[in-house]
């Protein structure tokens, strides 16, 4: 029987060197560039929980450089949102391996 490998299992995900590097916005509106979010609604209101979660999920899944993570994510918000983020298992695992505090928060 042929074993299939899903793209999500081998896809590269970017992880910052330190959570303290994540100094993105904590309020207002954020508009993602088209290379991170190609949907029609790329503008997120950080005052709205659903928007905050979608923004963080999108950036964590799609960022190809630490600079993109730094620009759009904030460490405090990430820690707050982490348990409720829907992420590919491999992305979640990579972040939690690098930052055990995320694993503790998710437990």
* 59-91 pLDDT per residue, tens: 999 999 999 999 999 999 999 999 999 999 999
**pTM for the full predicted model:** 0.91
Rounding to the nearest 10 degrees, give the CA dihedral for residues 36, 38, 40, 42: 0
Half-sphere exposure (Cβ direction) of 46: Cα atoms closer than 13 Å: 17
In order of 33, 40, 85, 103, the CA distances from 77 in angstroms are 20, 24, 11, 15
CA angle 82, 73, 55 (to 5 degrees): 70
């Amino acid at each position: 029987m042929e074993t299939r490998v899903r793209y999500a299992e081998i896809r590269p995900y970017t992880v910052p060197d330190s959570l303290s590097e994540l100094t993105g916005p904590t309020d207002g509106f954020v508009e993602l560039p088209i290379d991170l979010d190609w949907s029609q609604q790329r503008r997120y209101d950080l005052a709205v929980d659903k928007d905050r979660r979608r923004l963080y999920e999108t950036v964590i899944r799609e960022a190809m450089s630490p600079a993109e993570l730094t620009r759009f994510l904030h460490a405090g918000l990430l820690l707050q949102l982490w348990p409720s983020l829907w992420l590919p298992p491999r992305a979640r695992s990579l972040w939690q391996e690098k930052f055990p505090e995320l694993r503790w928060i998710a437990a």
